[in-house]
Amino acid sequence: MKYFVQVDGEEFEVEILEDGRVLLAGQPVHADLVQVHEDLYSLLMDHASYELMVERGEKGYRVLLGGVLYNVQVEDERRRRLLAGRSKPAAPVGDMHVKAPIPGLIVKVEVEVGQHVRADQPLVILEAMKMENEIRAPQAGIVREVRVSPGDSVEQGAVLVVLG
């Protein structure tokens, strides 16, 4: 089976043969991966020893290796063939929900409905762990909704602002 692996946007083709042999971009590599515990893996690749922490998310894997974080998506050849007929998935459209990353208290709301915001512009100030945390816009857009007011307590994951 062939896998197309996106590592921080860079694509690698990894083929795993039925007998366990591994080809990276068509070249054989000697790869031995063993799970140590849940998210912890040991990989020996051409005798080099690596330890990886692998978190599974909705969109793929979040891999930590040697202090560097990699965001990884894996697609196998069957799935790629299935999708080949269709157009490439477009950039995300529709509204973007900005959520509270931790539970806390809304101290201040910095934007109003209808306002244009730049990427990284502060939207809301959330107090948690006794510190004020600025919640910033993940991308540019227009504020469609503001769902919180100063003094509100919010749970983790609560939608604070909707950008369009």
Partner 1 sequence: MFRKVLVANRGEIAVRIIRACQELGIPTVAVYSEPDRLALHVRYADEAYYIGPAPATESYLRMDRIIQVAKEAGADAIHPGYGFLAENADFAQACRDAGITFIGPPPEAIRAMGDKVQARRTMMAAGVPVVPGTAEGITDEEALAAAETLGYPILVKAAAGGGGKGMRTVHSPEELPRALAAARREAKAAFGDDRVYLEKLIHPARHVEIQILADEHGHVIHLGERECSIQRRHQKLLEEAPSTAVDSDLRRRMGEVAVRAAQAVGYTNAGTVEFLLGPDGNFYFLEMNTRLQVEHPVTEMVTGVDIVKEQLFVAAGRTLRWRQEDIRMKGWAIECRITAEDPFNNFLPTGGKVTYLHEPSGPGVRVDSSLYGGMEVSLHYDPMVAKLIVWGETREEAILRMRRALEEYRIGGVRTSIPFHIQVMHNDAFIAGRLDTRFVERLFAEPNTLPREPQVVAVAAALIQRERERRTAIRLKPHRRLPSPWRWAARLEAVRP
The answer to whether 44 and 32 are in contact (CB under 8 A) is: yes
Which region among 26-34, 81-89, 90-98, 138-146 touches partner 1 (by CB under 8 A)? 26-34
C-beta of 30: minimal distance to partner 1 in Å?
5
For partner 1, the binding residues in 67-106 under the rule CB under 8 A are 67-70, 72, 74, 76, 101-103
Among 31, 96, 142, 159, binds partner 1 (CB under 8 A): 31
Among 84, 91, 93, 129, binds partner 1 (CB under 8 A): 129
Phi-psi category of 79—alpha, beta or left, where left has phi over 0 and alpha has psi -120 to 50? alpha
Radius of gyration over every alpha carbon of the chain, rounded to an integer in angstroms: 21
Q: Which residue(s) pair with 68 in the sheet?
A: 65
The one-letter code for the residue type at 9 is: G
Q: What are the angstrom distances between the C-alpha of 154 and each of 96, 123, 134, 137, 162?
A: 18, 15, 14, 18, 15
Interacting residue ranges for partner 1, rule: CB under 8 A: 1, 3, 5, 7-8, 10, 12, 14, 16, 19-22, 24, 27-54, 61, 63-70, 72, 74, 76, 101-103, 107-108, 125, 127-133
